[in-house]
């Protein structure tokens, strides 16, 4: 008898998977050369909203994205935007800054 396939995942309403990250300092890797480090305050179908954020273009830095994020975890977010909205289609990945590992 063949194994029964797992049921298809039930899609969550937009933002549900992000709910545990609201109010936390996160790192959002964006398309191209950018990343955002800041407090995620809201998520909609179209945008993520951040406060006390650092919009970072790693082409202007002397280190890789990974090194920059580790430094930010250690010394704190280098805030250059009080408020920031990012189109969701630009977000490649998002995680808590505390989930960034050393080594």
Q: 16-98, what's its fold?
A: SH3 type barrels. (2.30.30)
Q: pTM (2 decimals)?
A: 0.81
Q: For the chain, what percent of residues have pLDDT higher than 90? A: 53
4-17: pLDDT as tens digits: 555 554 444 555 78
Going residue by residue through the chain, which has 103 residues, state the pLDDT in tens, using 9 for 90 and above: 555 555 554 444 555 788 899 999 999 999 888 999 999 999 988 899 999 999 999 888 777 888 888 888 989 999 999 999 999 999 999 999 999 887 6
Read off the tokens for 40: 């995620």
């Amino acid at each position: 008898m063949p194994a029964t396939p797992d049921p298809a995942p039930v899609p969550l309403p937009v933002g549900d998977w992000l709910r545990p990250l609201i109010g936390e300092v996160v790192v959002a890797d964006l398309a191209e050369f950018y990343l955002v480090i800041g407090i995620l305050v809201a998520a909609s179908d179209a945008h993520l909203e951040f406060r006390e954020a650092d919009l970072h273009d790693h082409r202007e830095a002397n280190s890789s994205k990974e090194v920059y994020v580790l430094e930010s975890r250690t010394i704190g977010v280098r805030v250059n935007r009080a408020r920031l909205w990012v189109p969701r289609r630009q977000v490649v990945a998002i995680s808590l800054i505390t989930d960034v590992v050393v080594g």
